[in-house]
Amino acid sequence: MSDRILAAVMTAPGRPVEIREFGAPDLPAGSALLRTARSEVCGTDVHLWHGRLSGVPYPIIPGHVSAGTLEAINGPLRGLDGSTLREGDRAVFFDVHRTCGRCRACTVHRTPTRCPSRRVYGITDPASEGLYGGWAQAIYLEPGVGIARLPDAVTFDDYIGAGCGLLTAVHILERAALRPADTVLVQGTGAVGLSAIALARLGGASTIVAIGAPAARLDLARAMGADCVYDVEGSTAAERLEQVRAVTHGEGVDVVIEAAGSARAFEEGLALARDGGRYVVAGHYTDNGPSIVNAHHHINRKHLEVRGCWGSEPGHFLRALSVLERHAANVPWRRIGGRTYALDRLNDALADAEAMRITKALVDPSVVGQRSGASAVQPSA
Ligand SMILES: [Zn+2]
Ligand SMILES: [Zn+2]
């Protein structure tokens, strides 16, 4: 391999992403170097670009969910499933690392996603420490990172099309305690909402309603398993309340999943849940401002259960892989990846993601130096 590894670096909020050169890292025992085949530009990256997340140690190499081929291993190295990993394996890794296992969050409360030591590739790992992000030709997998072989049935584009949205959705469905024949409303048709729709469908939901935008994402929501879709911009909250009640015996839905990141969506979701229903809030990953809640009407008298959902755990990562292995041929996760961008076109990718011209941008870090007008390469099969 070449010692010269290029990475796209986000130097500070609001600044253009720059290509920088890194040397190949030394590999201590138990570590590996992953040659990146695909990474992604997700909603989190747009937030990072605008400086909306606290505690981010810019400059960073974004790209928290990525896939590639194990190029060098200082082994032996075992995957999260216990199998031995070898150089040349197609592999993926759980982006959260350094969860301590000793703090009160980890041991007493058993909420490891709230561990203060936890770090996340592409988000809270500084570029000054090396190749800790997927917008790079190679990624350093330090000792302790949870790695898994990508199942043969899953292409890189399947995996990244699902990406962080599927991991998050696995956790959301766990928090939602979905039961067979539950009615489900998903607010938001980005990558998280689309995967939540698919998992609710696979998990035995009866009617699934989605609220989102724009039209292309609503088409995808149907393809992922939604029965009724409402354009959030082309309908009013009052109309949606009436229509949701009409398909739920006048009651509202059993389970509401908020994946919209909007304070108004949260208010609406409280009204659309049935009495005694469950509401999982997962889209308020950044501060979207206050929502107006009437505790009597919306929660207390309604006997509503409201649950937050923050981050994911290794088990969600492995379950996401199993879901893809079994279902990627039939559920169109790869369609979420709208377009694939070269490493030096990620400013365009961020702009396209922000403007919702695509649902998710894929990154092919092996492609650099395209002439203008040839910035996007077609997704591979
Ligand atoms: Zn901890
Ligand atoms: Zn993400």
What is the structure's pLDDT at 338? 83
The number of the ligand nearest the C-alpha atom of 116 reads 1
At 315-339, the pLDDT tens digits run 999 999 999 999 999 999 999 998 9
What letter does residue 296 receive in the DSSP assignment? I
Q: Is the peptide bond before 59 cis (omega within 30 degrees of 0)?
A: yes
Q: How far, in Å, CA of 98 to CA of 101, rounded? A: 9
Q: How far, in Å, CA of 54 to CA of 356, rounded? A: 24
Distance 17 CA to ligand 1 centre (A): 32
What letter does residue 298 receive in the DSSP assignment? I
Distance 252 CA to ligand 2 centre (A): 30
Distance 65 CA to ligand 2 centre (A): 7
The number of the ligand nearest the C-alpha atom of 65 reads 2
- Single-letter code of the amino acid located at 83: S
Residue 295: strand, helix, or coil: helix
Distance 123 CA to ligand 2 centre (A): 9
Give the up-direction half-sphere exposure of residue 235: CA atoms within 13 A in the CB hemisphere: 19
The number of the ligand nearest the C-alpha atom of 107 reads 1
Distance 164 CA to ligand 2 centre (A): 5
Contact predicate 64/120, CB 8 Å: yes
Residue 356: strand, helix, or coil: coil
Contact predicate 130/345, CB 8 Å: no
Strands 273-281 and 67-73: unpaired
At 46-104, the pLDDT tens digits run 999 999 999 999 999 999 999 999 999 998 999 998 999 999 999 999 999 999 999 99
In terms of phi and psi (left: phi > 0; alpha: psi -120 to 50; beta: otherwise), the region of 247 is alpha
φ/ψ of 354, rounded to 5, equals -65, -40
The number of the ligand nearest the C-alpha atom of 100 reads 1
- What is the mean pLDDT, run by run of 10 residues, along the chain of 381 residues? 87 96 97 98 94 95 97 96 96 97 97 96 97 98 98 96 96 98 98 98 98 96 98 96 96 98 97 98 94 97 98 97 97 93 96 91 86 39 34
Residue 109: strand, helix, or coil: coil
Distance 243 CA to ligand 1 centre (A): 45
Q: How far, in Å, CA of 343 to CA of 334, rounded? A: 20
**C-alpha angle 118/147/12, rounded to 5°?**
45
φ/ψ of 215, rounded to 5, equals -60, -40
- Single-letter code of the amino acid located at 363: V
Distance 249 CA to ligand 2 centre (A): 36
